[in-house]
A and B are shown apart, each in its own frame.
Chain A
C-alpha cells in the first residue's frame, strides 16, 4: 500500500517535472528565436513595413487596442516591446512596474474628418458639417470614454465649439478602425479618424483638424522587463523609421 502511494507520488512528481521542463523549454524557445511586440492596431500598416526592414531575429507583431495590450502586458503576457497609441496607457503600464526603461515617442498623428472615397473637401464649421450629414445624418468617431482617438476628437470638437451641437449625432465606435469602416462602407457620410487611417482605406480626407485643437497625439514605445537582448535594438529601429511612418500619414 505504502509503496503504491510512493509510486503514485513519484509518478506525479515526474509528470509535474516533465511539464515544468517543457514549459521552461517553450520559454527558452521564445527568448532564443525572436521578439514579441504588442502594438496599437492603428500602427499596423506602417509597422508591418518597419518590421520588414528589421534584420535582427524574427519579430512577432500582435495588434490590438492599447488598453487590451497594456492589460495583457501587465498580467504577464510574454512580450518584449510595446508600442501604444496613448500616453495614459503607457503611464499606467509604468505604474504597474513592468516597463524596463523610459518610454520613447515613435510616431505622431493628426485627426481628420474622412468621407467616402472621392468626397469633396468640407469647411470645418458647424454649418459645413451639418450640410454634409444631412437632416438625420450621423457621423462616426471613437468612443471618448475608451478610445484615444475619440478622446482627442472630443477635445478638438470642444476647442472648435462644435461638440455640444454634434454630440447627439455621434456614433461611438469601440475602436477608431471601426469608425473608419462605417465611413468606407457608406453607413455614415463622415468619420472623425486619424489622418494615417485615411491612407489606402477607401475613404477621402475632407477636413483636417488643427493640431492645436487637442493634446499632441503621440505613440509611446517601451521595452518591458524580462525582454530579450534584442528588444532595445528593435525599439531603436522603429524610432529611426520616421520616414516610413510619415509615408503612412503619421506625423505631428
Chain B
C-alpha cells in the first residue's frame, strides 16, 4: 500500500499501543475526577481543578522534565519502582504515562461538561423510585453523558497519539520501545535525504487523525440514538 521503512511501521504500532493504553487507563480516573469537579462540593476543589489542568497549560517539555525527575532512578518514585523492576523511565510504559497525563485534562473537560448538563432532578426521580446510587448512575447518568465520554475519549486518543514534547523528554527515542510516531518524524527530520520515509510518516499521522474523527463522527449519532431509544 504505502512504501514505508520498517521504522515507520514500528513507530505506528508503538504509537497506537501507547495511545490506546493511555486513553483506557486515564478514562476511569477521568470519569471520577470529572464527577468530583462537576458535582463535588469540598475544600480544595479549585486546587484539584488547577492540578488537573496543569498539563494543558504547562509547556509539554516541563511536564516531561517533571516526570523524568520523579521517575528516574534518583527520583522519589523511581527510587522505589526501579529496584522492583517496575521502572517506567525510558520504557514504553513511561510513554503511556506521559501520553495519559497530557491527554487527561482534555478527557476530564469533555466528561465534566456532559455531567454538568445532566438535570439532577432526573437522578432524584430515580432515587425516589428506589433505585440504588450505582443503578442510577448506570441507567440514568451514564447514558446521558455517553456522548461526552465519547468526545473525551476521541480527543484524549488524538492528544495521546500526537504527544511529543513530554514523551521525548521523559523516555527518549528508542526504536520499538519509546520512539513513537511523532518522535520518528522528528528523528527522520534530522536525517539528510530522508524525504520519502518522512512523507510516509506524515501521511500515516494524517490518516490516523482523519480516521479517528471519522470513527467518532460515525459513533456519535449511534450512541445518541441508543440513548433516545431507552
Contact = CB atoms under 8 A, between A and B. Distances in A.
Interface stretch (B95-103, B122-130, B181-189, B214-222): B181-189
Contact of A171 (B172, B192, B193): B172
B182 to A, nearest CB: 11
Most buried by A among B68, B73, B191, B192: B192
A172 B175 contact: yes
Interface of B: 7, 68, 72-74, 85, 89-90, 168, 172-175, 179, 183, 186-193
Contacts of B85: 136
Interface on chain B toward A: helix, strand, loop, or mixed SS? loop
A215 to B, nearest CB: 15
Contacts, number: 68
Which size class do A's interface residues fall under?
20 to 34
Given A174-B183, A185-B74, A186-B74, A146 B188 contact: yes
A66 B191 CA distance: 9
Contact of B187 (A71, A88, A91, A145): A145
A187 B192 contact: no
A167 to B, nearest CB: 10
Contact of B191 (A67, A136, A170): A67
Given A171-B174, A174-B172, 7 more contacts: A68-B190, A145-B188, A146-B189, A147-B190, A178-B172, A182-B172, A185-B68
Nearest 4 interchain pairs by C-beta:
A67-B190, A146-B190, A92-B192, A146-B187
Given A143-B173, A172-B173, A65 B73 contact: no
